[in-house]
Structure 1
Amino acid sequence: MDASRFAHRGNALRHGRVSEPNRAYLLTSVTYNRQALFQDWRLARMVVAEMRCLHEQQAARSLAWVIMPDHLHWLVQLESMPLPRLMLQLKSRSAIAINKARNDSGRVWQKGFHDHALRQEEDLAATARYIVANPLRAGLVKRIGDYPHWDAIWL
């Protein structure tokens, strides 16, 4: 297959991205080169602090999240901030804090992010359960409650 077809399609998806206030989105972002940065508890909590800050600023309402060793899943309901700006702020602020803590200046996150706008028929609580069960499915813990980096408004 022609690789240029995929490049065009990827750009078309980015340009077609829509941010709708009050809509729920499942967001995923991956660390640069899939480094397992968040095995370090302190670094994972820095991402959590930035998510909470955005929540408190009413940029987005956090519904559920899990921080895996090399990526993040975040279920949010958009409020005042468009999707690209929300993720830019999360990733840039957390990268600054993480680099400061590690006395480093390298990249923390891969470029871009994946988003999935939930349809009305998709169950938010079921999506949240799926998100927080990631560590269990990955074999990191035997019980969800044993994993330290997750939360959901329903639990």
Structure 2
Amino acid sequence: MPVHDRPDRGLRSIRLERRSVPGSTYLLTVATLYRRPVFLDDEAARAVCRVHTAQWPWRDSAVLAWVLMPDYWQGLVTLGERDSLSTLVGRFKALTSRAVQGHHRVNGWLWGRGFNDRVLGPDEDAMAAARHLVGLPLRAGLVVRLGDYAYWNTAWLFPGEA
């Protein structure tokens, strides 16, 4: 019987059985501790963005798109062979926490506990999911043109576009 069909299983036990399937594309969400709008501060936002420019934090996983909102990060990631989702997100959170100045952390913590993930189904278009993801600042009313928001990127963006 699949995990989701077990009536005696709670959400917590289902999440503990989270599967990391290499080659699958996931929509990941990581919220700041207490959903504080840390990334309204440009310096903090730029520090997190610099982590995306290095390949080594992601290893053999591919970041297809990401956006940094005032109180959370969301990314579309195709998982590689070398890491589980938990390991990948844990590394991202650790590196970005160290990159952001200490006054943005609460008792050393920048990010809240855990993360949310959703695997894209075989019939879901990753480019459409990326388009939806990077449109978040527009829908949140942070900017009137996507090009006016600095904290996002997508693998489908060519130099000079935005």
Query: Which TM bucket (shorter chain)?
Result: 0.7 to 0.9
Alignment of 1:12-91 (within 5 A): 12-54=13-55, 58-79=59-80, 80-91=82-93
Long gaps (5+) in structure 2: 1-8, 158-162
Q: How many residues align?
A: 148
- What SS does the aligned partner of 1:25 have? strand
Residue 135 of structure 1 is matched in structure 2 by 137
What's the TM-score once normalised by structure 2's chain length? 0.83
What RMSD, in angstroms, separates the aligned Cα atoms of the two structures?
Answer: 2.0
Structure 1 stretches of 4+ with a deviation exceeding 6 A read none
What's the TM-score once normalised by structure 1's chain length? 0.86
**Greater helix fraction, Structure 1 or Structure 2:** 1
> Percent of pairs identical after alignment?
37
C-alpha separation in 2, matches of 1:32 and 1:102: 10
Amino acid at match of 2:147: G
C-alpha separation in 2, matches of 1:25 and 1:103: 27
Amino acid at match of 1:66: V
Return the offset for 1:59: 3.8
Say whether the 8 Å CA contact 2:44–2:101 is kept in structure 1.
no
Return the offset for 1:54: 4.9
Say whether the 8 Å CA contact 2:21–2:79 is kept in structure 1.
yes
